[in-house]
Amino acid sequence: MFSKLSIKVLLIILVILRAIFVISEYSGDKERSFSRVLLAVDTANVSEIQIHFPADGNDIILKKNSPTDWSVHSDENTFPADLSVVKSILGQFSEIKPERIAATSRERWSEYEVTDSAAIRVQLKDKGKTMADVYFGKFSYTQPPQGQQMQLQMQQQQGKMSTYVRKADEDKVYAVEGFLKMSYQKDVNSYRNKTLVNVNRDDISRLEFIYPDYSFVVEKVDNSWMMNNQPADSLKTVRYLNKIQKLSSTGFLPPATPKTGEAVYKIKIEGNNFNPVELSAIPTSDTLVKWVITSSVNPMAEFDGTKSKLFERAFVNETEFLPDKKE
């Protein structure tokens, strides 16, 4: 009898606890109750990303031409886009999880910088249909509690970074982990394809350097590197290949940069598993630039030869490959 009574009491308690849980989940404090996922987008279907900056009303638009080919549009200019930048933006929207609700009414929008005049607005679209419309506002950093300082220093951990965001169709403001606003820059060059060379070092088998007064060839013969049919220094050659295999630059030049002639320095890169790549250096009357650098894999871009010593790093002379002379 006691056993049956105990089971009955336990069942009643379980029912009551379940009811309390349901009530707290669906009719509790709205300030604390929110969806665990603020936004989730099937990024494979995104065909356009619109980025609006409030200060000058300038828009940057990224458009998908194919899954591996995007273009960036701004001020009536169109350039090939940096695919890694596009993937980074889309990665944010694959799933945005809120940490907490910071505000529930539009009266506090300005406090978190999510108004039309302060926030960066990002819209994701699929053939004209809006898939996401989000305002990215103020950024905040929270230091770890004082008691954890010593432990965190030993573990080299950092405090928490948060960005306040608002969906276009909601009044609520959410705190989301991460400095999401950092992904959006006003400068269109931040979104452009920065590549001059993008190959694997081990696939390169031949380099031809064509200069105004002379030329030379570095090529792999029977697994050994040769320069003009003479043995090259393998370590020096590999060192150069490491520099050239993923060559890129942020030093974009405007198309109006004056040029004083044709390309006088050229490098032809050949090998397996990639189309031949040609780098060119064109003289310019701009004494601060000196050389306009172009690449066959990114024909719409012109780069500053002095930026990060781009010309010096790529257009080396034959001593870069010769063995050191013995004393």
Instruction: Map 12-46 to HEC letters.
Output: HHHHHHHHHHHHHHHHCCCCCCCCCCCECCCHHHC
Q: Where are the domains of the chain?
A: 43-188, 201-320
Q: How confident is the model at residue 96 (pLDDT cuts 50, 70, 90)?
A: very high
Q: Report residue 138 CA to chain centroid gap.
A: 21
- DSSP H or E segment with residue 66: strand 59-66
Does the pLDDT of residue 153 top 60, yes or no? no
Residue pair 113/165 in contact (Cβ under 8 Å)? The answer is no
Report pLDDT digits (tens) over 283-313. 999 999 999 999 999 999 999 999 999 999 9
Residue pair 310/286 in contact (Cβ under 8 Å)? The answer is no
Q: How confident is the model at residue 323 (pLDDT cuts 50, 70, 90)?
A: confident
Does the pLDDT of residue 189 top 90, yes or no? yes
Mean pLDDT to the nearest integer, 93-109: 93
Residue among 171, 176, 170, 107 nearest 139 (CA): 176
Does the pLDDT of residue 8 top 50, yes or no? yes
Determine how β-strand 215-221 pairs with β-strand 224-227.
Answer: antiparallel
Token pair 């306040």 is at which residue? 164
Residue pair 196/248 in contact (Cβ under 8 Å)? The answer is yes
If one counts every other C-beta atom within 10 angstroms of the C-beta of residue 41, the result is 17
Report pLDDT digits (tens) over 250-271. 999 998 899 998 999 999 999 9
Coil vs helix vs strand at 87: helix
